[in-house]
Amino acid sequence: MTAAIRPGDYVRMDETAERLGVSVTPVREALLTLRGEGMVNLAPHRGYIVAELSRTDVQDLFWLQGEIAVKLALRTADAITPEQVAELEWHNQQLLSALKSGDGEQVADAEFEFHRVHNLIASGGKLAWFLLSATRYTPSQLYATDPEWGEVAVDSHAKLIQAYRTGDRDQVVEQTRRQFTDGATRLTRHLETTGIWDPEN
């Protein structure tokens, strides 16, 4: 998703293991997982090749994430208590503090923790698992090091929290979808700058 490895590039197990400082076994297992998820294809006697990724693929991935997240958010709206609203506010403040520090890892951790706590309130374990699976290849560090993304995330979280407080389900849906629409736009813009797509792709 960052275009560090580009569609059509070969990924050879021995070379990858040496570069990562691990044995071939975890590399093989990782590539098998990626193959099952359509991220790489097996090229007999040549290793694995990075699969094509189109603009539509990116939009579809974020659409799927957004739809699952909306379902979880509406369940949260039905279940959330004033104490849990306050807890989400605290986590959003933690994200804001991390953004001010400029530490990308802290930002990514704070964002993850906000959504982890949020999804626990929804009590949708399976849905949360599917959402986590869908977001696994979202480049969190790309967002975490983007100050503009941080401003949008904190603002969207704050409006989402206010919607929970007032029971505004339409705002719950709008603010949840906003985060994924914004994420898709930023990733698409980033990938366009890498030149991985032909103009018509």
Q: What is the 3-state secondary structure (H, E, C) of the chain?
A: CCCCCCCCCEECHHHHHHHHCCCHHHHHHHHHHHHHCCCEEEECCCEEEECCCCHHHHHHHHHHHHHHHHHHHHHHHHHCCHHHHHHHHHHHHHHHHHHHHCCHHHHHHHHHHHHHHHHHHHCCHHHHHHHHHHHCCCCHHHHHCCHHHHHHHHHHHHHHHHHHHHCCHHHHHHHHHHHHHHHHHHHHHHHHHHCCCCCCC
Short-list 83, 93, 88, CA closest to 115:
88
Question: ∠ CA 139-141-147 to the nearest 5 degrees?
Answer: 120
**For 125-154, how does the pLDDT look when each residue is reduced to its tens digit (9 = 90+)?**
888 888 877 776 677 888 888 889 999 999
Name the segment(s) of the chain with CATH classification 1.20.120.530: 55-194
pLDDT surpasses 70 at 36: yes
Which of 61, 58, 69, 87 shows the shortest CA–CA distance to 129? 69
What average pLDDT does the structure give for the chain? 88
Q: In the prediction, which pLDDT does 27 show?
A: 86
The model's pLDDT over 10-29, given as tens digits with 9 standing for 90+, comes to 888 888 888 888 888 988 88
Residue 151 pLDDT: 93
**What are 152-201's pLDDT values in tens digits?**
999 999 999 999 999 999 999 999 999 999 999 998 888 888 888 766 55
**CATH assignment of 10-50, given 1.10.10.10, 3.10.20.80, 3.40.50.2000, 2.60.40.420?**
1.10.10.10
User: What pLDDT score does 31 carry?
Assistant: 86
Check residue 118 and give its pLDDT: 94
Q: Can you give the pLDDT at residue 201?
A: 53
pLDDT band, very low/low/confident/very high, at 98 (cuts 50, 70, 90): very high
Average pLDDT, integer, range 64-85: 95
Q: Please give the pLDDT value at position 110.
A: 95
What is the tens place of the pLDDT at every residue in 37-51?
A: 788 888 887 788 888
For residue 126, the model assigns a pLDDT of 83
Q: Provide the pLDDT for residue 17.
A: 86
Task: Outline which parts of the chain fall under CATH 1.10.10.10.
Answer: 10-50
Q: Is the pTM of this model over 0.75?
A: yes
pLDDT value for 1: 59
Architecture of the domain whose range is 55-194: Up-down Bundle (1.20)
